Each structure stands twice: as structure tokens, then as C-alpha cells.
A and B are shown apart, each in its own frame.
Chain A
């Protein structure tokens, strides 16, 4: 069979190509452009080669932010995934409780991120915040603005409050897709509660949980707004994650070259980790 070649088809992909070009490719190229040059304003540029990259990779500031960010992501995943699964397992499958639970769960997800930050900034204040004042009154002086541990506890509790719902909703979607016959068969087979979870619910939730892990990892690795509002990255640099550091560098100090170099390194790290996730997910599919 002869195929008809018609190059007009390229026009069909043109709109999508333009959107992607203006939203992703051109900005990214601009960043690449900045990362290899130095500027003092006036649109004057000097070639800097790989100097900015070397500076960034040699700086304690970058590695500090990177490790803090990785630690943050690992901690919130370790809390949100099991907690989300636990809540999803205990949600009703049918009846009027279902819409009630779903709406309650969706609520934190609907709140704008800076509002979430403001809520937690207020609630943890030791002078007027319910949480901060309460703890201080019972003899635990709580100070998110002064104590790095307290600042970490605040951003982690805030993230868990904000995002566990997403894991719950994904896990719940996985759970409700399990046909009743599986539970009935498990009862006939005399399976314990744990066996039902281990051999029926967990395998059926595996795919959505992988997506939940991926989404939560990406989001937490890019986290900016909430900790910025609550702690401003402090005290000191104790809650300065990669994005916060990047914005400080680019906007605060107007170091466009190093900031661009850092953006690219940041981007490559995310690309690498996404590739790892993608490989893990597709390989688990391939064995199916």
C-alpha cells in the first residue's frame, strides 16, 4: 500500500508547537543564555562559560539547600503516604458518609498556597496562635521564628495538613475500583485484615500510589510559597529550600548568572529523578 505524503499535516501541530515554544522552550533557552554570561545591567553581557556552574556546585549554600530539600521531601513522603493510605482505608465506601468525607478531604487542596502559609504562620505564633500559644502555655516554649527544629516541625505539619488529602483521594480511588468479589473471596478464604491489605488492597493501589509518590515528591521538591510565608526560609537558612534559595539569588541579590546556572542544575535533578520514577513505574508494568 502506498502512503500519501502530505506535508500540510505539519500545520496541524503548529499551534501546539507554538504554545510549547513560548511557554517552555524559549524561557528555558533564555535561562541557558543567562547561565553562561555575566551582566551588570544595561543589556551588556560578558561571556562566563561554565564559571557559574562551578561556583554553584562548589558552594555550601547550594548543597545545603539541596540536602534540606531532599530531607524535607523524604520526611513528608514518609508521613503522607502511610497516613493517606490509612485514612483512605477507613473512609466509607458507600452511603452518605462518602460525599462528606470527600469534600472534607478536598478542602485543604482548594486553599491557595499563600493562604495555607498564612494560616500556619498565624496558628504557630507563640503570642496569638492557637497552636504556638497553647504549647507555650503548657510549658513547651514554641517559637517557629527562632528555633530551627520548631520551624521544621511547622513546615512539615503544614505540608502534611495541606497535601495528605491528595494521597487519600488517590488511594481511595484505587480502593473503590476493587470489585466486591475480592473481599468476598477473601472472607471465604479466611484472610485476616492484614492479608486483605497485603494481598488485595496494596497491589490494587500500587499504581495510584506510585503516582501519588511522584506528585508529592515533585511538589515538595519545588516547594516555595508556604515555607516562604511561614518562615521566610529561616531562622537563618534552616528552612531555605532550593526554590527559596533560587528566588533569593535571582530576585533578592539580582545574581542572574548564578541563579540561571542553579535553575538548570535544579531542572536536571528533577529530570533525572522523574526519569528514575518513570523507569520504576514502567518496569513494574512490564512484569505484569
Chain B
């Protein structure tokens, strides 16, 4: 177990990277606390897997250092780093039995059969694979295979960290939920540092204490699920987290006033934006209300999703989503109201705070 520090990591797959676009990973500075449960969230191709493979040593970074408890491990091999990793697509050794599959990482490290016979049945039991232990690991369904892959990641008791690369992609929804709770429980029991890569916000928000959001090869925000929801630091976070995502409008800032769709909104503070920056106003659908007064809005469609209604509307010439409690009446001539605490101002996509 270790605290993992990433210092100025950059990585490009091609040789001689020139522009920032050549980098799969642009610049990452971050520390994973010992024993933390982290989710690495972001869209496909944002560099999540690259970052994970750099931590486990499968990929050498083009620039920067990785430290485990202060020791530089950048040049260490995967074995020397002692990291467990579970991949998106299941890997099983199908000429071995299920039991031998789980014993494989232990035996490769020369552990005695006593240790193997103690450790493997525990993991088999946790993954409900005990009844198959002595069968060959071939011809299994995708989720059984992935359970075996997970098992091989969890079986070692001395690892520095366990990395999960979208491990539940191929697993059916019910089993997903079960396995996720088991992982969470295992984290509490074992205290391993766990990094869980996913593009599914529900998975990220339920698994992790802290969520790291990546976009375009950079970490854009690190925070608790509540922080990501309430104060998205980047318009991408606002858009990616929450369903539906944050509404973002182009806005003109004049002192403490924001002009959007021909209406002025009083912000109560003057955001520090310079004239040549692209300024936007972001507001989550949960912080908007429909009433008889306010700014005019045209309603396109109302989706009833049970507890909530999602109103798809048009405001200031662009689509907007508004969520309302189920029993809310929609006024005949609807107007939209923004609640003060939900308004965020972004300059070149980054949040400009009250404090700035």
C-alpha cells in the first residue's frame, strides 16, 4: 500500500510530439492518497487508460515522474511496482482451472501453497465462483470471465494499489451492482488504494470517495460527488456529470451583470473576465424554475421520468433542459427563472468564482 504521486506526467504515443494535440496525456500532477478509493471519470479517448497504464508500468511516460511513497518508480517494471490491474475485457487463462487462474499471480511470485490455499478460496467465495473452482476456465460467459479477471486482481494481499479499467463494462446490470458493492466493501476491509476508471458517472459516484474528471488528456476537476455537482470547475464537468447535464449559454459580462438572451441577470459580484475570453453562463437543470414571470422560454417537450419531469425547451435561441418536481404545473405562458446559487460563470470554459 502506498501513496502514489504523479509529477508533471505527459505522454505521447507517437514520436517527437510537437503540439498539445500530440499528447494523449497533456500534463498531470496529482497524488492518490494511501487507501483512497478514486474514480477516474471521463469520455472515451480522454487519456484515462493511458494514465492507468502509466501508473501500473505498462506504459512509460514521455515526461514526468511517478513516486510510490516518495520513491521514484518511473523506471520500474510492472512486477517491481507490485500493482494489480483489471482490464476492460476479461482475460482468462483458459487451459487452467478457475482455481489455478486465481492462484496464478500468487504462484508466479513464489508464494507457498499454504498461502494460495488460504487466499484463493476467500476470493472464490466473495465472487461466488466456489462451485466452479475445479472446472476449466473455458467456454464461460463474459461476466464469469470478468469475475475471474477481477479475482486475479484482488487475490494478492500485498499490492500497492488496485487499478480497475472499466471492469464492469461486460457485466449485466444486476451483477454490476452486486460487484460494485463488493468492491466497495473490499476497499473498506483491505484499505488498498483503488483507482477505478469509468465513463459511467453512476459507477464513479457510487464507488469513489473522490472523483477525478479527465477531459482531453488533462484532469479538469477533483472532488467529492457533491462538489462536482454543485461547483463544476469546467463546463465539461457540468455537462458530463448530472443527467441531463448543465445548460451552458454564451453570455456577455458587464461588471456584475450577465446579459443572456436580451435579459440582464444580476450576479451580485463582478467575475474577473478579460475582454478577449469566451464567457459562458452555466446552470444545472435542477436550479431552474418555470413561472409566470422571468425570461420567456418556449417548451418543446416534457419527459416524465417518475419523480421528476424534464422539460426540454428553447431559451435565447438554444435548447435547454429544466427539471421540475413531478407535480409541478407548467404555466401557459412559461418564463424561466435562474436560482442565484446555481449560476456559474465560465471564462474559456473554466469557472470564474466569486472569490476570484
Interface residue ranges, A against B (CB under 8 Å): 179, 181-182, 184-185, 187-192, 195, 199-200, 203, 288
Contact = CB atoms under 8 A, between A and B. Distances in A.
Interface stretch (B101-109, B187-195, B209-217, B262-270): B101-109
Nearest to B89: A181
B95 A188 contact: no
Given A187-B77, A188-B58, A200-B93, 17 more contacts: A181-B88, A181-B91, A182-B91, A184-B53, A184-B58, A184-B85, A185-B87, A185-B149, A187-B58, A187-B78, A188-B85, A189-B104, A189-B108, A190-B78, A190-B108, A192-B108, A199-B96
Contact of B93 (A179, A190, A199, A288): A199
Contact of A189 (B77, B95, B105, B138): B105
B152 interface: yes
Contacts of B79: 187, 190
B78 A203 contact: no
Contacts of B22: none
Interface residues of B, number: 27
Contacts of A182: 91
A181 B53 CA distance: 11
B84 A288 contact: no
A191 B57 CA distance: 15
A184 B56 CA distance: 10
A288 B87 CA distance: 23
17 contacts: A179-B89, A181-B89, A182-B91, A184-B85, A185-B85, A185-B91, A188-B83, A188-B153, A189-B108, A189-B152, A190-B79, A190-B105, A191-B108, A192-B108, A199-B93, A203-B94, A203-B95
B196 to A, nearest CB: 16
B139 interface: yes
Contact of A288 (B89, B96, B138, B153): B138
A179 B89 CA distance: 10
B277 to A, nearest CB: 42
Contacts of B78: 187-188, 190
Given A181-B89, A195-B108, A188 B84 contact: yes
Contacts of A191: 104, 108
A192 B96 CA distance: 16
Given A189-B152, A199-B95, A184 B87 contact: yes
Nearest to B83: A188
A48 B349 CA distance: 97
Interface of B: 53, 56-58, 77-79, 83-85, 87-89, 91, 93-96, 104-105, 108-109, 138-139, 149, 152-153
Contacts of A184: 53, 58, 85, 87
Contacts of A192: 108
B225 to A, nearest CB: 29
A288 B91 CA distance: 16
B110 to A, nearest CB: 9
A199 B139 CA distance: 16
A184 B139 CA distance: 22
Contacts of B91: 181-182, 185
A120 B98 CA distance: 51
Contacts of B77: 187
A182, A188, A199, A288: residue with the most chain B Cβ atoms closer than 10 Å: A188
Contacts of A189: 104-105, 108, 152
A185 B95 CA distance: 16
Contacts of B104: 189, 191, 195, 199
Contacts of B93: 199-200, 203
A203 B96 CA distance: 10
A61 to B, nearest CB: 45
A181 B87 CA distance: 7
Nearest to A195: B108
Nearest to A187: B78
A132 B152 CA distance: 57
Contacts of B57: 187
Nearest to A185: B91
Contacts of A185: 85, 87, 91, 149, 152
A188 B109 CA distance: 11
A200 B84 CA distance: 19
Contacts of B89: 179, 181
Contacts of B87: 181, 184-185
B144 to A, nearest CB: 15
B108 A288 contact: no
A185 B78 CA distance: 10
Contacts of A187: 57-58, 77-79
Nearest to B139: A288
Contacts of B88: 181
A141 B266 CA distance: 104
A189 B83 CA distance: 9
Contacts of A190: 78-79, 105, 108-109
A190 B103 CA distance: 12
Nearest to A200: B93
A175 to B, nearest CB: 16
Contacts of A179: 89
A195 to B, nearest CB: 7
A158 to B, nearest CB: 36
Nearest to B149: A185
List of 6 A-B pairs having minimum Cβ-Cβ separation, nearest first: A185-B91, A190-B108, A189-B105, A199-B93, A187-B78, A188-B85
Nearest to A204: B94
B56 A188 contact: yes
